[in-house]
Amino acid sequence: MKLYTYAVAPNPRRVGLLMKYKGIELESQEIDLAAKEQFSPEFSAINPRLTLPALVLADGTMLTDTIAICVYLDEMFPDKSVFGKTALERAQIMGYCHRIFFEGFSAVAEVLRNKGEAFKDSPIPGPLKMPQIPELVERGNLRIRAFYEAMDVEVAGKQFLVGDSLSQADIDLYVVFGFCGWVRHSIPKECAALQSWFDAMKLAMGE
Ligand SMILES: N[C@@H](CCC(=O)N[C@@H](CS)C(=O)NCC(=O)O)C(=O)O
């Protein structure tokens, strides 16, 4: 099994923190997104979607979606499962992961990728070339603010988003808040529950 990653980027970080929490070590290779190495002929031949993370299994099967990689690794290394103990917990964790990706990660990406030179002609990760839409920056900022408020309600009175142990939902939420910092957002001071949850997660993640 081999993992292609770029440790500082948010989706690879979702996998990286899962591996750290569970003590998983894999052969891995960094593809430098800042240097646009994902567009190299070598990496395009490995993952034509040109995104990270990507996990290649021993038989050559390729997984190129973070959630799929996390589910797979969690099952292959079952100690300290991060996908719940019951059918209901699993469903709730998957629901949160989906929601955090859609409402959180995509809102930040909307802000980050629709302005400036770094993502010119490339507002969506992958091979598709298209123009940036500057109006999406303002909408993205509103979405981020709404996301903080919604998640403040979700974590209120809880140590973990689901059940009594840390799950992939907690990891994803923790990573997305770091990603928010890339576009100069931080947890609003009114979101006290979220701030306490975040501080505890930071300790749990050893950061
Ligand atoms: N479908 C992928 C998307 C992953 C993704 O967007 N990864 C970003 C890094 S966080 C990427 O590869 N970006 C490449 C680019 O910006 O060209 C997943 O869910 O894992």
Average pLDDT over residues 116-129: 95
The number of beta carbons lying within 10 Å of the beta carbon of residue 32 is 11
Strands 54-56 and 27-30: unpaired
Cα–ligand 1 centroid distance for 165 (angstroms) = 28
Q: What is the pLDDT of residue 27?
A: 98
CATH T-level topology, domain 2-76: Glutaredoxin (3.40.30)
Res. 154 pLDDT band, cuts 50 70 90:
very high
Pocket test for ligand 1, best of 31, 52, 100, 172 (most atoms within 8 A of CB): 52
| Cβ-proximal residues to 123 (8 Å cutoff; 6+ apart), any chain | 113, 114, 130, 131, 132, 133, 136
Cα–ligand 1 centroid distance for 126 (angstroms) = 7
Res. 108 pLDDT band, cuts 50 70 90:
very high
Average pLDDT over residues 33-44: 97
Q: What is the pLDDT of residue 147?
A: 98
> Ligand 1 atom closest to Cα of 67?
19
Res. 53 pLDDT band, cuts 50 70 90:
very high
Cα–ligand 1 centroid distance for 125 (angstroms) = 5
Q: What is the pLDDT of residue 159?
A: 96
**Nearest-CA residue for atom 18 of ligand 1:** 65
Average pLDDT over residues 182-193: 98
Q: What is the pLDDT of residue 90?
A: 98
- CATH, domain 87-204, list 3.40.50.460, 3.90.1150.10, 1.20.1050.10, 3.40.50.300: 1.20.1050.10
Q: What is the pLDDT of residue 144?
A: 98
Q: What is the pLDDT of residue 47?
A: 98
> Ligand 1 atom closest to Cα of 113?
16
Q: What is the pLDDT of residue 54?
A: 98
State the residue for tokens 């990689």. Answer: 69
Calculate what percentage of the chain has a pLDDT beyond 90.
Answer: 100
Cα–ligand 1 centroid distance for 53 (angstroms) = 7
Q: Of 176, 173, 144, whose CA–CA distance to 161 is shortest?
A: 173
> Residue ranges of the domains in the chain?
2-76, 87-204
Average pLDDT over residues 7-36: 98
Q: How far apart are CA 118 and CA 115, in angstroms?
A: 8
**Nearest-CA residue for atom 15 of ligand 1:** 125
Res. 62 pLDDT band, cuts 50 70 90:
very high
